[in-house]
Structure 1
Amino acid sequence: MIRFILYMAALLSSLGMICEGLLAQVEGQSYNDALYFIDYQDVTVCKGSGEAAQAVDFNSTTCRQVFGGEINPQNRRIWVQTTINIPREFLDRVEPIGLFFSGKASGRFYIEDQLVGQSGRPSSTPQGEVPGKIDAVFYLKNEWLKAGKNRLIMDLSAHATLLELKRPLQFIAIGSLRDPSDFLLRRHLAALLPLGVLLVGVLFFGLITATEKGVPKSIFIPLVALFALGHLVAEVSRGILNYDWIYHDLRLILVQLFGFAAAFSLISYVIKEYWPARIKLFSLVSFFILLVPIGFVPGFDNKSFMVFVTACGLGVLFCMPVVRQHASARIMAGGLCLFAVAVLGMPYKILDIYYFYLVSALILILFVLETKKIQRLKRQIQEDKQRAVDLQQALEEEREQQAPAHIQIPQEGKVVIIQVSHINHCKAASDYTEIYRSGAPTVLASKSISGLHEELGSLFIRVHRSWIVNRHAIDKLIRDPSGSGVLTLKDKTKVPVSRRIMPNVRKELIKD
């Protein structure tokens, strides 16, 4: 257990260094990556009604000063005035300059009183509003800007909204002109590794489910991987698709649903693995406990993170009482503890990347545990089959030992002693029975076929009302379309098999 924890700690530390290195590259502070954000302490918001920046009086009593993170155009139209401080050396560069706007709103954008761009069409009514892109950029001519403070005016609205977000606008800044999706895509490059791990995990367990017949398998592990994969795809979809902002709420809902489903699948796996008799009760209780972070934790990303952390905490609670009985429970509890500690102790700025590395590492642990369990069950099934074969063979040997070695057949004042193992088959002949032997003449016994079968014991199989056969003398059985059949003995003798007795004959031959 200690060795496992040390291995996992080393793995998580390595992943942390990788993520921090990637983040440092993504957020390099060279001029090529420089962004100059709005002054969050210098923001004025007015109720919107006019169609031009010149018509708005930001000194009106209807306007108010707000913190930049509190700009909220949801279900309303507002005019916003703020400033962006740009250094002289940035303006002296030859690269084109752009105004970046990322947020859930349609808008018009002005530098001083110059209209520089429009994303969708803001409006005072939902009917007049046209959604724009969630991430937009507008080309700025150098003559529109000056060194020092530049006044930025925004006409914003967001009527078509499903969720009331606390921070509907992510960032507003001026920088070198580029595709706004580049920021997200470069950041999400680090997600390619966990994306691959999760995809391989789904395919791997799908293949196991399709090929490993007869071995009990847990559906919850591939579900954890599948829902975590959906969560990751929903996270990175913004940088890939650059959708209209009206779909942003839908994306956030998918992020929450996939995150919750992955967490619930994880705790369901733990419960089914170690508490199968109480899976319904414990799963129901866990379901409602997992709803608590959704209701009380702010921010959709934080909700998803904390739901999974809560599932890990519940998993540890379910593992601890059974660690003595199940070695895998110790590994499971250790992995869940490390995951929760790593998520809670990780700086938020890299958590969105690092989180999926942690989920991938946790799922790898589940893959290993489940694979070992499947291998153990396969060995157990093979051992059970072999024990059944050995038991059947022992029963057959016991049965043969109990069968008589010889039988005595009275004939014309004398007694013929016949070795049972030399008898191939017997055939009824009225009130008599013909006994056929290997390399010896046929003997007519004054006994019925049923009486002789009872005397010979289980070494002989009843294949017809008039025939019994030594099971060791049988070569093959051929079944006719009618349901009856023919037994071919090793001496090439053909013996009929009645349709009524055919199922029992086949069962006896399968046992042999």
Structure 2
Amino acid sequence: MQTVANFLQVVSHPKHLLNKSKSTSVLIANTRLVPLLFVIMTCLISLEAHASTYNKLSIQLVKICEGGKTEGQVTGFFKTKCEERSLSEVNEYDKLIWVGALFDADQLLMQRNKPLGLFISAKAAAEFYLNGQMIGRNGLPSAIPSYEIAGAMDYVTYLPANLLKAHNNELVIKLSSHHNVIGFEQLIQRIIISDYASPQNIVLRNYLPSFIPLGILLIGLVYTLPLVLTGTVSQYNLLLPLLTTVVMAQLVTELLRGLIAYNYPVHEFRALSIFVLGSLSGVCLLAYLAHAFLNTGRKRLMLSALCLILASVYQSNSLEQSTIFAIQIPAFICLALAVYATVYKRQSALAHAVALFIFSMLIAFLPGKFLDVYFYYFVSLLLLYFLVQHAIAYRNEKVQRLSEQSRADRLQRALDDYSEARQPTKIMLNHSGKVEWFSADQICFCKGARDYVEVNIADAKSILHSESLSTMEEKLPDLFVRVHRSYLVNTHYVQSLEKSTSGGGILTLTTGAEIPVSRRIMPKVRKVLI
């Protein structure tokens, strides 16, 4: 979390960055990723360790029979000649089926200090039987579509201790799935026997660490969006907050499963939403890098990437696989783009290439686990890196604007001085019942005294002019500077500036006069005189 604190310091105090060189800032930005990566990996290891102690028994191998063959024969299910498959191969939509599995409960009974439950995630309505006895129902399964009542996507039923045996427990599930719209997703995602708990609590245990990347993404969005909306940075950088928003929406959609119970037909729309948001995040990532490293050919690149994504989605077997392709293809193209930019020595291209290489390899070698476990951590890390680079770019842009503004101010002062030297401004002064005209370059300084101004002329003459200091300031040319609420000074007569212990200063003029400088105006006076 120190890294996040450091990042917030960058956001909250951009002036602090102005005192550091560009190379040092880039080094610091890259170094900050190391502790954050350590924190993320620690969370992941803790999650895996927690899952291994919580999930007592996972059923993977089952027997499948169609409904008509075993109706009313639950006790003799395992004597029938049915097909044996893994859960991932069960895809009997739009029909009634029976699913059975044998399991030993000796270890569960020995370690049990809480009631046991059967946790199932399936896009189906189901009835559950343990050793010939019905123990629960999720919706109402039926061979007739109109008779089926859709069950919850995640469901837990209590396993009575008096029905469990040490060995060869027979679990039989009567199951139907007539309300699927797309049918892309796996019919039965998991069957787990563990301590009894709410199905949302069981799901949420796996999603709780995802609040860490959600917080990081929210910080990034809060930082970048105001900069874009106020026009502080170039408009193409709208892609960065857009990418952050899309990934946040995808993560929130994932988290909803652990927060809200819903029936299985809703799950397909959730999976479809995740696919759409994953595709958008991949496209936004590619567009951001294309704008950063390409001057031409961006539209052709984006069109080619979209064609590749559509072709891979067409060949995929599930929405999860389609989502992985929709992220993987833009990531690989971004990696190639960053490598290309590195060869041509584009600024920060090498760091982008390294980050994208790690990101792409994780997708390639951990496709099954990546989307559910690692994706949001590494996307948030990648986005955090982009945000730090964005902050550095904004700092550099701000420094450049300040430098240009300073040069423009100096040029304007030089032009004003030249114009004033060629044709001095004439100032009318009222004093002692008469009116006199003086050139502005004759006036050394003006001292305010309520509704009067004491005007000091170069020949040591002092004139009491009936006018306020503010009105006088509006008439005088820019070579006069307000150094105090009561003093205006002609910069041409300034000989030295000495800082006082109070934080203000003393201006010594060529005439020998000493003028106080207020602490509040001191930085402005220094800037003008330099």
- What is the deviation of 1:257? 1.2
Partners of 1:11 and 1:303 in 2: CA distance: 29
Matches of 1:122 and 1:300, distance apart in 2:
25
One-letter identity of the residue aligned with 1:218:
N
What is residue 263 of structure 1 aligned with on the other side? 282
Distance 1:127 1:476, change over 3 A: farther
What is the match of residue 44 of structure 1?
Answer: 64
In the aligned structure 2, how far is the partner of 1:308 from the partner of 1:67? 28
Q: In the alignment, does 2:30 pair up with 1:35?
A: no
Q: Is contact 1:107-1:121 (8 Å) kept?
A: yes
Find out whether 1:20 has 2:20 as its counterpart: no
Give the TM-score, by structure 1 length.
0.70
Q: 1:93 to 1:397 in 2, by over 3 A?
A: closer
Residue correspondence of structure 1 range 379-458 to structure 2 within 5 A: 379-400=399-420, 422=426, 438=437
CA contact (8 A) 1:45 1:71 kept: no
1:463 corresponds in structure 2 to none
Give the gaps of 5 or more residues in structure 2.
Answer: 1-22, 430-434, 440-470, 477-530
Shift of 1:224: 1.4
Query: What does the per-residue CA deviation read over 1:366-398, in whole Å, with 9 as the maximum and x for residues that have no partner?
Result: 101111112222222233333333333334444
Instruction: Tell whether 2:374 aligns with 1:354.
Output: yes
CA-atom RMSD, angstroms? 3.7
**Paired position in structure 1 for 2:202:** 183
Q: Pick from 305, 319, 328: which aligns with 1:286? A: 305
Query: Aligned equivalents of 1:199 and 1:192: distance in 2?
Result: 10
The residue type paired with residue 233 of structure 1 is: V
Q: 1:53 to 1:233 in 2, by over 3 A?
A: farther
Give the equivalent residue in structure 1 for 2:351: 331
Moved more, 317-326 or 74-83: 317-326
User: Is 1:95 the counterpart of 2:95 in the alignment?
Assistant: no
Residue 93 of structure 1 and its aligned partner are, at CA, apart by: 4.6
Matched, 1:322 2:341: yes
Measured in 2, the distance between the counterparts of 1:338 and 1:66 equals 35
* Aligned counterpart, 1:307: 326
What is the TM-score with the length of structure 2 in the denominator? 0.68
Q: Does 1:201 align with 2:220?
A: yes
| 1:65 CA drift (Å) | 4.0
* Contact 1:36 1:85 (8 Å CA) reproduced: no
2:150 matched to 1:131?
A: yes
Distance 1:270 1:386 in 2: 32
Q: Which residue of 2 aligns with 1:240?
A: 259
Structure 1 or 2, whichever has the larger Rg, is 1
Partner of 1:228: 247
Distance 1:136 1:315, change over 3 A: same
Change (3 A) 1:388 1:87: same
Conserved in 2, the CA contact under 8 Å of 1:44 and 1:58? no
- Greater Cα offset, 117-126 or 280-289: 280-289
Amino acid aligned to 2:56 = L
Q: Secondary structure at the match of 2:162?
A: helix
Q: C-alpha offsets along residues 33-88 of structure 1, whole Å, 9 cap, x if unaligned?
A: 35334461x51312459874559977778x54444432234222222333233227
3-state DSSP of counterpart to 1:148: coil
Q: Which runs of 4+ in 1 moved over 6 A?
A: 1-7, 55-61
State the shift of 1:161 in Å: 0.9
DSSP-derived class of the 2:158 partner? strand
| SS at 2:145 equivalent | coil
1:142 to 146, 161, 166: 161
Segments of 5+ residues of structure 1 without an aligned counterpart are 404-419, 426-435, 441-471, 478-512
Question: Do 1:319 and 1:329's aligned partners in 2 also have CA atoms closer than 8 Å?
Answer: yes
CA distance in 2, matches of 1:56, 1:120: 24
Query: Offset at 1:10?
Result: 7.3
- Cα 1:437/1:103, change in 2 over 3 Å: same
After TM superposition, give the deviation of residue 299 of structure 1 in Å: 4.3
Which digits, 9 at most, give the CA deviation of each residue in 1:455-493, with x for residues without a partner?
Answer: xxxxxxxxxxxxxxxxx999469xxxxxxxxxxxxxxxx
Which whole-Å CA distance do the structure 2 matches of 1:18 and 1:173 have between them? 23
- TM superposition shift of 1:91: 7.0
Q: 1:22 to 1:38 in 2, by over 3 A?
A: closer
Decide whether aligned partners of structure 1 residues 281 and 88 sit closer, same or farther in structure 2, where only a CA change above 3 A counts. Answer: closer
2:102 aligned to 71, 78, 83, which one?
83
1:370 aligns with 2:395: no
Tell me how far 1:196 sits from its aligned partner. 0.9
**Alpha-carbon distance, 1:6 to partner:** 8.1
Identity %: 25
**Deviation per CA, 1:203-232, whole angstroms, max 9, x where unpaired?**
222233345647656111111111111121
User: Using the alignment, how far apart are the partners of 1:277 and 1:394 within structure 2?
Assistant: 41
Contact 2:64 2:83 in 1 (8 A): yes
